[in-house]
Amino acid sequence: MFAEIITIGDELLIGQVVDTNSAWIGCELNNIGIEVLRITSVRDRGNEIIESIDNAMKRADIVLMTGGLGPTKDDITKQVLCDYFQTKLVFDDSVYKNIKRILGNRVPMNKLNKSQAMVPENCIVINNRVGTASVSWFERNGKILVSMPGVPQEMKTVMGEEILPRFKTRFIADIILHKTFLVKNYSESVLAETLEQWEESLPEFVKLAYLPSLGIVRLRLTARGHCQTTLQKELDEQSLALNKILKENLINDDASLEEQIGKKLRSLNLTLSIAESCTGGNASARITTIPGCSEYFKGAIIAYHNNIKIALLDVPKAVLDVYGAVSEETVIAMAKGAMKRLNTDCSISISGIAGPDGGTETKPVGTIWIASAYKNEIRTMKQEINRGRGMNIERAVNNAFLSLLEML
């Protein structure tokens, strides 16, 4: 069973809005065994939308569309669908009542809002519980096209409450299982070379994907078939084989590094503090994306200026004068200072030259020192790869998290 996704809107193509809908839809479809063949984004132009629909209907069993269902002139999806399916717009009283319920006494019912009750005649109309734009469900030659609102929360609601349940009862799809790992201390090319013989021996129904990130590589094993027991057994066996090859460099957890740190700190009943310079709070921000992190994360000190390192982290002025802010000695002092000031069991510290300028001959851009501390033990590492400011910062945070996980 295959699906295609079409997202509609000029704002997606000029970068004004990021398409998060497709990622969410793809994940949900995968969970019920429906594979996404293609994702297409098109402008609010009738001929381009029709071309995308026509191509998708030839390839896929299901076409899911988002966007272009609002009350303004640039929202043309419903009329385009009428043109494609050779029907017309008609007034739907149930949709009109839903619009009035949604608007309540807050927004007046003008002609634009009322126009949203006009729906394609020859389709199944599904009301949107949290918005004024209804869903249109078309069928032709055994294939299905569903047009949904582009507002993410509205799309997720109608998908979760109406569309996905209908797919589950109507289609018998393959079972798709994934097993994901994190791999450290390998570049993508070296990892692929290391795993070449094992990868070639995988059965035909198991596929391997490499998903490189900064400082880590995510491996995803995907098994597809009709028997869940068989698929799960195969994934378990291949997981054991991977562990034998990669040993301590394989992390058998597909959660983010910040999630893994949270789980580890909770299990050990430990607390964490962070001292950051060049990463400017990025490490702290990632830690605090995890719900409940207040159980183990006490806080952070963003010590960008040397005076702050001295005043708030107790970094000796002599250390900064002799070794500089970007040095092993400084990050050690920062880690100790964070643990002491915030009274935690462990800490990480980061200081370096993220770029694009500020480097010297002895300390070029991309030079970043990292320390992780747990009680009386401190580990340090030096990062010396320059991939631009954003990537340098992300890599440094990943390396700091990996170092702390290893220590714990």
- Encode pLDDT of 162-192 as tens digits: 999 999 999 887 899 999 999 999 999 999 9
Q: Per-domain residue ranges for the chain?
A: 2-170, 175-251, 257-407
Exposed/middle/buried for residue 373 (C-beta within 10 Å: 0-12, 13-18, 19+): buried
β-pair partners for 217: 183, 212
Residue 386 has pLDDT above 90, yes or no: yes
User: For 346-369, what is the mean pLDDT?
Assistant: 96
Confidence of residue 159 (pLDDT cuts 50, 70, 90): very high
Query: The whole model's pTM is what?
Result: 0.76
What's residue 231's pLDDT? 96
CATH topology of domain 2-170: Molybdenum Cofactor Biosythetic Enzyme; Chain A (3.40.980)
Tell me the pLDDT tens digit for each residue of 236-256: 999 999 999 999 999 988 899
Euclidean distance between CA atoms 139 and 62, whole angstroms: 9
Question: Could you check whether 2-170 and 175-251 share the same CATH topology?
Answer: no
Average pLDDT of the chain?
95
Q: What is the pLDDT of residue 101?
A: 94
Q: What is the pLDDT of residue 172?
A: 80
Fold of 257-407: Maf protein (3.90.950)
Across 345-358, average pLDDT:
97
Specify which residues 35 forms β-bridges with.
Answer: 2
Range 138-149 average pLDDT: 96
Residue 19 pLDDT > 90, yes or no?
yes
- Give me the sign of the Cα torsion angle 35, 41, 44, 50: negative
Radius of gyration of the chain (CA): 27
- Least confidently predicted of 55-64, 99-108, 142-151, 365-374: 99-108
pLDDT digits (tens, 9 = 90+) for 75-85: 999 999 999 99
Contact 209, 222 (CB under 8 A): yes
Contact 8, 44 (CB under 8 A): yes
What pLDDT is recorded for position 171? 86
Q: What is the token pair recorded at 38?
A: 């293609």
Residue 92: predicted pLDDT:
96
Fold that domain 175-251 belongs to in CATH: Alpha-Beta Plaits (3.30.70)
Stretch 196-201: mean pLDDT? 96
In this predicted structure, the answer to whether residue 288 has a pLDDT above a threshold of 90 is yes
DSSP 74: T
Checking if the pLDDT of 74 tops 90, the result is no
What backbone torsions phi and psi does residue 120 show, to the nearest 5 degrees? Answer: -60, 140
Q: Of how many residues is the chain composed?
A: 408
Supply the pLDDT for residue 153. Answer: 96
Helix and strand counts by DSSP (H, E) for the chain: 17, 17
Alpha-carbon span 265 to 11, nearest angstrom: 42
pLDDT average, residue stretch 245-270? 95
